[in-house]
Structure 1
Amino acid sequence: MTAESTNELAGGPGDLLPAAERPLLIEQWARRHGVDAAQRLAEAEDLADAIAAAIVPDNTVDTYAKSWRVWTRFCAAAGLPQLEGSRGALVAFVAWMLREGRQNGTGYAPASADTHLAAAVTGLRRRGVAVSGDDQAAARKALAGLEVQLLQAGERRGRGQAVSGDLDGLRALARSCPDTLTGDRDKALVLTGFHYASRSQDPAGLLAGDVTVHPRGLVVAVLTGKTKHSVRNAKIPYADDPDICPVRAWTAYRTRLAAEHGPRWADPSTPAFVGIDRWGHVTGGMVPDSVTRAIKRISTRAGVPLAWTGHSLRIGLASVARRNGRDGIAIADQGGWARHSRSMLGYMQIDDGWDDNAAAGLA
């Protein structure tokens, strides 16, 4: 993706001024403050644009680019101009996405349609198209109503929430890991990830130096988060049960990696979690997709009833910690959620729906 397209797609509405409007703004500054001041203000705008682009995560930029492609497919199918975001066009876009918007001709899940709508509006505004809040709200209202109709018809789209990890599952996964470097890596990946509520990109982004041993456990510097809450130093204490202790698992894995593949793997700049092929060769650092595949493979090997995904560790920390009486703020800080995050509270609802139920004990 070019720097120009990155600037065009990065950030939310209002973060970047459409390019067509910049010369007019500079002319206004020149009349008010003089040519030199206008030039300095223009340079400050360029710096602001560069910072706005730099701080947007790559996957967010990718989402905006993908959603713009969905919008252009819709416009081509409907015979509408791309650079017009009217109320009717946005409502028609929502209806088209739910009906047939995917490449294979089937409809998107409402959550995906909502994401594409928001990103398409951002793309339009980046290109200088005025999209009113009222028109966008009308499209969202239409999406909500159509989603209700889908539910009433018994149609639930999307993958739904990932399976939640739990302590019984962790024990099964740990027991299933063979006495090999791959087995030690798998055990450390799952046990540490569970205890700091990792996303798949988190262990993939860690270097060995980001995980430090402390007298009371581990400190994991998570630097791959998208918000100020998710970038954090997560503290992982020793577990009472040595079979599922993340600290012991991490230490055993890194010690074995250096012993079998050389002392260079003790260097803090090496990847924390490495890929290992079937012959035991280290192939480099893991990436998010390989983390997701590994967790699914490990859980399948362990024979858990429903295979875990990369998000199972994150959901598991929230739900198990809540079940064990941990404070919601402490859970948020450990997992990198904003305090009172809706997604975190949704994970907790897995258990609270029964244990903290308004209808419990009334009769």
Structure 2
Amino acid sequence: MGNTLEPPQPSGSSELLLRWADRHGIDTAQRLAQAENFADAVAQAITPENTTDTYTKSWRVWERFCETQEFPLLEGSRGALVAFAAWMLREGQQDGTGYAPATAKTHLAATAVGLRQRGQAVSKDAFAEARTALDGLTVQLLKAGERRGRGKAVAADIDGLLLIARSCPPTLTGLRDKTLVLTGFNFASRASEPAGLLVGDVRLHPRGMVVSVLTGKTTYSVREAKIPYAQDPEVCPVRAWTAYRTQLASQADPKWSMPDAPAFVGIHRSGVVTGGMGPDAVTRAIKRISARAQVPIVWTGHSLRSGLATEGRKKGKDAVVISRQGGWAPNSREMLGYMRAADEWDDNAAAGLM
């Protein structure tokens, strides 16, 4: 394992340590405890940052709930979890308004994990009842005419890509923007994926380019997304990439053209490169770029990912081909949902009746 993770020493006696000592002796018990701590360190090291961030935010919500209700922090009882679900929908946000149901579900699940991590039992029945209560209360909100949350991100489409390509100025920032959208669309990117790309991850090919995408939420792998030249040069991601990288090489420090440099860089209004773009910067850029192009409904960071599946389906691509390009499982419910968005218009019982 090398020296990257140094297992901490066992901290005092515990019920588990005492049981091990009774079974195997104190020396073996200490080694087992050390292994437990090492396993915790490994788990922490391999947990994605966004997952850790979610757990941290959700635990703060739980802390606020316990403080306002005068509940013990480390007690995940059936009643406490059901009350937590109702409180989140009613007044859980810091401004006193309720959370969107999807956000409340995330906080509830992450809180259950947080309680278990802290050694507190959360039974499956208690958690299931809290989820059922949350779903039931959500239905009541809908019946009352209250809808929360942004809903599904609008899918990017070819017309929108054309508007964006035509609205990007021939500056370094404009070329970066155009390339970010066209490239991201063609490999069905999440916002985190362009942010993680390095220059060396993109290779030109006689038929287009190959993008090595580090993908996965918990289990990481690399998929080789092949992006061909587009028939319309105006929206060709390969030509856009070449123009962007050529201009960046001519204007910026040579270090930004090295293989280990970020593929997509932040650029100050003065034209100075400020560093690599993070996921939040990618999301903000896509919103800004689509708004500037006056796309009818402004895109979000997920629009490029859903757009490839939807547009691919419109062109008759099957699930296997779409899943391979976007890194979905062939039977992914998420991908099939995007494809269904196209089918619902083309294969529609009401279409052509009048």
TM value normalised by structure 1 = 0.88
Structure 2 residue 250 is matched with structure 1 residue 249: no
**Shift, 1:264, TM fit:** 3.2
**Shift, 1:250, TM fit:** 0.7
3-state SS in 2 of match to 1:104: coil
Is the CA contact 1:231–1:336 (under 8 Å) kept in the aligned structure 2? no
Question: Measured at CA, do residues 133 and 241 of structure 1 come closer, stay the same or move farther in structure 2, by a change above 3 Å?
Answer: same
Question: Measured at CA, do residues 194 and 209 of structure 1 come closer, stay the same or move farther in structure 2, by a change above 3 Å?
Answer: same
Structure 2 residue 70 is matched with structure 1 residue 66: no
Point out where structure 1 has 5 or more consecutive residues left out of the alignment.
Answer: 1-18
3-state SS in 1 of match to 2:87: helix
3-state SS in 2 of match to 1:199: coil
* Higher mean C-alpha deviation, range 294-303 or range 335-344: 335-344
C-alpha distance in 1, partners of 2:141/2:221?
34
C-alpha distance in 2, partners of 1:38/1:339?
46
**Shift, 1:169, TM fit:** 0.7
Structure 2 residue 95 is matched with structure 1 residue 95: no
2:41 aligned partner, one-letter code: A
TM value normalised by structure 2 = 0.90
Is the CA contact 2:77–2:126 (under 8 Å) kept in the aligned structure 1? yes
Find the counterpart in structure 2 of residue 218 from structure 1: 209
Counterparts of 1:231-250 in structure 2, within 5 Å, are 231-250=222-241
C-alpha distance in 1, partners of 2:230/2:236?
5
Question: Measured at CA, do residues 351 and 293 of structure 1 come closer, stay the same or move farther in structure 2, by a change above 3 Å?
Answer: same
Find the counterpart in structure 2 of residue 3 from structure 1: none
1:45 aligned partner, one-letter code: E
Structure 2 residue 191 is matched with structure 1 residue 165: no
1:136 aligned partner, one-letter code: F
Is the CA contact 1:99–1:106 (under 8 Å) kept in the aligned structure 2? yes
Find the counterpart in structure 2 of residue 16 from structure 1: none
**Shift, 1:306, TM fit:** 1.3
Find the counterpart in structure 2 of residue 15 from structure 1: none
* Higher mean C-alpha deviation, range 111-120 or range 200-209: 200-209
* Higher mean C-alpha deviation, range 309-318 or range 345-354: 345-354
CA RMSD of aligned residues (A): 2.4
**Shift, 1:123, TM fit:** 1.0
3-state SS in 2 of match to 1:161: coil
Question: Measured at CA, do residues 59 and 226 of structure 1 come closer, stay the same or move farther in structure 2, by a change above 3 Å?
Answer: same
Counterparts of 1:196-215 in structure 2, within 5 Å, are 196-215=187-206
Point out where structure 2 has 5 or more consecutive residues left out of the alignment.
Answer: 1-9
* Higher mean C-alpha deviation, range 260-269 or range 226-235: 226-235
Identity %: 68
**Shift, 1:48, TM fit:** 2.0
C-alpha distance in 2, partners of 1:231/1:81?
44
2:263 aligned partner, one-letter code: A
Post-superposition Cα deviations, 1:155-211, rounded to whole Å, max 9, x if no partner, equal 110011112100111111011111111111111101000011111121112111111
**Shift, 1:223, TM fit:** 2.1
Question: Measured at CA, do residues 224 and 332 of structure 1 come closer, stay the same or move farther in structure 2, by a change above 3 Å?
Answer: closer
Question: Measured at CA, do residues 231 and 88 of structure 1 come closer, stay the same or move farther in structure 2, by a change above 3 Å?
Answer: farther
C-alpha distance in 2, partners of 1:21/1:130?
22
Is the CA contact 2:88–2:98 (under 8 Å) kept in the aligned structure 1? yes
2:142 aligned partner, one-letter code: L
Is the CA contact 1:258–1:264 (under 8 Å) kept in the aligned structure 2? no
